Amino acid sequence: MKVTLDREGKNLVRMGLELESEKALKAYEMACRSLSHQVNIPGFRRGKAPRNIIEKTLGVDYIKREALEKLVPELLSRAIMDESLDVITEPEIDSCEFELGSPLKLNAKFEIRPEVSLGQYAGVSVTVPEATLPADAMERALGSIAESKASLKAAASRPVAKGDTVLLDFECFVNDQLVEGGKADGLVLEVKEGTFIEGFCEQLIGKEPGQQFEVKVKFPEEYRNKELANKDAVFKVDLTELRERVIPELNDELAVTIGQPSLQALKDALQERLGEEVRQENEMRAQRAVVEAVVNAATVDIPQTMVERERDLLLQQVRKYLEQNNQSWDQFEQSPDFEQVRENKLEEARQRVLTSLVLGAVVRAEKMSVDDDEIAPYLAEIVARYDLAAEQVARNEELRRQVMEEVLTNKVVQFLVGKASIQYVPEPEEAQTDEHKHEHGHKHHEHKEGEAHDPVGETEGGDAKKGKKKASEKSAQKS
């Protein structure tokens, strides 16, 4: 087989293949034999019809297509391997000439991974703003627990205030007609902005239990019931009861309700958890800073096509999120916010691709790999989580590949952090938001920059580890 390569632009390769006529004919004949076992031809047992009968029954062009369907991927794969090409897109066939008795000629194009010139990556020095627990962290954590155990009790008759909870009955009318399903008895409603229909709760403020009154609102344009969307409505309301939230005292009794033997034991457990959250936050910040330093020290010319493909993947995630929340993607595309989101996602995509390419270059420079022992705990976790058979998971090649990528990403990040010189410095006061102070652990994802990229996958590497984990979970559920 003859192979010719022409490089265009930053990372586009055009490949020409020419397969000897004898080998092309052999592939055609093999397709004939395979098809003879799949079709019923009168007068012949399956697999026994001669070639000329198969050709007359199915047509030469049909047999050629069958032969090419198997042959072309094999030829391209062999040529890519022989030429040591790091391909990142599926080959796109430009032309194919297949005439019996003549060489098979094929032209394809694909993108290869851009070359990365690494700067210093082992032993970088970084400074990291250190996350610390604020003085009131324990008080806030205990308060949050007490809030979660709050109960409602009937309150003395008084005007409704913002933040109260009320019990009410209502009937909803549009154009003086009772709406189908627009009646409720004993609805428990917290009086705060954004609850129920916009503008409804605000009109409850100042009313008292026992009063009957009307509330006038307009259903939003995107209301789930399209027949009511953007229509004026009148709710005839009977306010039956006012309720107050009662927050329990912080004592041993409260601790027992959440599985701790005493209040002191609860405080000890919270202190340990808060300390672990701070440790994880600082570890995450260090990883982010180290990976950023390694990326900034490298040089790579990223093709715009890679960035745009990654941007499209990010927009797909936005679309999925909107649709899961019963929002229209088509409406969002027409909104003033769409272009700004699209632009922001382009920059995010560029950074993700850049980080992926650089981490991948480190993996190759250090000849890193993962073995079965390293992925076994991850697979075992999936087996336990979804109650699957171990051999079923082990046979899922897509799942294994995704897990291997996740493990390798962790490995390269840990390698870089282990080699780095990390100095923690006080965090600027303005950066100490509530989330940074003691909420960070609740939203912690295993790695940020370091995990956010697939250094060895066939895509540009924009998958976040979180995304890859979801993908591997989907693969597991399909098993």
Tell me, what CATH number does 174's domain have? 3.10.50.40
Q: Which two tokens stand for residue 371?
A: 């073995």
Flag whether 254 is in a domain. no
Query: Under DSSP, is residue 269 helix (H, G, I), strand (E, B) or coil?
Result: helix
Q: What is the pTM of this model?
A: 0.69
Flag whether 251 is in a domain. no
Report whether 118 contacts 416 (CB < 8 A).
Answer: no
Could you give the CA distance from residue 67 to residue 10 in angstroms, rounded to a whole number?
A: 34
H/E stretch holding 146 reads helix 137-148
The torsion region of residue 463 among left (phi > 0), alpha (psi -120 to 50) and beta comes to beta
Q: What are phi and psi of 450, to 5 degrees?
A: -65, -35
Classify residue 122 as exposed, middle or buried by CB count within 10 Å of its CB (0-12, 13-18, 19+): middle
Flag whether 177 is in a domain. yes
Torsion of CA 404, 405, 406, 408, to 10 degrees: 80
Classify residue 238 as exposed, middle or buried by CB count within 10 Å of its CB (0-12, 13-18, 19+): middle
The confidence score (pLDDT) of residue 137 equals 95
The confidence score (pLDDT) of residue 458 equals 34
Pair 300, 438 in one domain: yes
Closest CA to 274 of 87, 139, 407, 153: 139
Residue 137: how many other CB atoms lie within 10 Å? 19
Pair 164, 219 in one domain: yes
For residue 330, CA distances in Å to 12, 326, 360 come to 33, 12, 36
Closest CA to 70 of 127, 31, 125: 31
Return the HEC string of 388-437: CCHHHHHCCHHHHHHHHHHHHHHHHHHHHHHHCEEEEEECCHHHCCHHHH
Pair 132, 170 in one domain: no
Flag whether 80 is in a domain. yes
Strands 165-174 and 232-246 turn out to be antiparallel
Flag whether 262 is in a domain. no
In Å, how far from its chain's centre is CA 202? 38
Q: Which two tokens stand for residue 98?
A: 């297949």
Q: pLDDT of the chain along its 479 residues, tens only?
A: 899 998 887 789 999 999 999 999 999 999 999 988 888 888 888 878 888 898 898 999 999 999 999 999 999 999 999 888 888 888 899 999 999 999 999 999 999 989 999 999 999 999 999 999 999 999 999 999 999 999 888 888 899 998 889 999 999 999 999 999 899 999 999 998 878 898 999 999 999 999 999 999 999 888 888 889 899 999 999 999 999 888 999 999 999 999 999 999 999 999 999 999 999 999 999 999 999 999 999 999 998 889 999 999 999 999 999 988 888 898 888 888 898 999 999 999 999 999 999 999 999 999 999 888 888 888 888 888 888 888 887 788 888 888 888 899 999 999 999 999 999 999 887 666 544 444 443 333 333 333 333 443 433 443 333 344 444 544 555 54
Flag whether 415 is in a domain. yes
Pair 173, 130 in one domain: no
Identify the CATH number of the domain in which residue 83 sits: 3.30.70.1050
Could you give the CA distance from residue 20 to residue 323 in angstroms, rounded to a whole number?
A: 52
| Sequence letter at residue 316 | Q
Q: Which two tokens stand for residue 394?
A: 């082990």
The confidence score (pLDDT) of residue 290 equals 97
Residue 139: how many other CB atoms lie within 10 Å? 11
For residue 242, CA distances in Å to 152, 217, 322, 391 come to 10, 22, 35, 58
Pair 281, 364 in one domain: yes
Q: State which residues form the domain around 410.
A: 125-136+276-478
Closest CA to 357 of 111, 91, 117, 81: 117
Flag whether 257 is in a domain. no
Closest CA to 83 of 178, 9, 156, 14: 14
Pair 161, 303 in one domain: no
Pair 51, 95 in one domain: yes
Pair 71, 217 in one domain: no
Identify the CATH number of the domain in which residue 391 sits: 1.10.3120.10
Could you give the CA distance from residue 276 to residue 280 in angstroms, rounded to a whole number?
A: 6
Flag whether 267 is in a domain. no
| Sequence letter at residue 227 | E
Place of tokens 């399209």: 226
* Chosen domain end from 246, 267, 290: 246
The confidence score (pLDDT) of residue 47 equals 79
Buried b (16+ CB within 10 A) or exposed e, 326-355: eeebeeeeeeeeeeeeeeebbebbbbbbbb
Domain count, the chain: 3
Pair 240, 294 in one domain: no
In Å, how far from its chain's centre is CA 262? 40
Pair 290, 346 in one domain: yes
Pair 9, 88 in one domain: yes
Q: Which two tokens stand for residue 219?
A: 């259903």
Pair 87, 157 in one domain: no
